[in-house]
Amino acid sequence: MSAFMMGQANRGKEQMVFDWDKAARIIRERNPKWAVAGLRGDMENTSGAIYEDGKPIDDEYTYLASTWATPILEIMADQEVEDIPCFRMQSEVPNWGSKTKWPVSSIDILMKGIKVNEAVC
């Protein structure tokens, strides 16, 4: 109910959208065991795993845009969990939204320099 009320109070404001490129850079640099994305203050309803054991995850539910709740990246590195604000304004990334998962630019950042064996079909 409080999330609904906050949404109503912030109606018409520009949305903050999860910054997949920033998340990819952080994950690449820190090499966490896992990473979760969600909205601070409403993680139980918006968050999901986006990275685990060296691989991006794109099949878990997440809702990653809001006018009032800050999108965050939560990582487990060095046995500590860290919450990192991780967003851009909607006007900066007009093709990204609440349901965007690992856009090509982010995969490119995450995988930069990693050689992938190509399978022969």
Tokens of 67: 């006018």
- The tens digit of pLDDT for each residue in 40-69 reads 999 999 999 999 989 999 999 999 999 999
**pLDDT for 9:** 60
> Is the pTM value of this prediction over 0.85?
no
Tokens of 110: 């995450």
- The tens digit of pLDDT for each residue in 5-31 reads 565 666 779 999 999 999 999 999 999
Which stretches within the chain are classed as H helix? Answer: 2-9, 20-30, 43-46, 104-111
**pLDDT for 10:** 65
Of 36-40, 61-65, 67-71, 113-117, the one with minimum mean pLDDT is 113-117
**pLDDT for 19:** 98
**pLDDT for 80:** 87
Tokens of 43: 């993680």
CA gap 92, 111 in Å, rounded: 23
- The tens digit of pLDDT for each residue in 86-106 reads 999 999 999 999 999 999 999
Tokens of 15: 């949305």
**pLDDT for 5:** 56
Give me the residue label for tokens 């109503």: 8
Give me the residue label for tokens 């919450």: 83
Tokens of 90: 């909607």
Q: Is the pLDDT of residue 121 over 60?
A: no
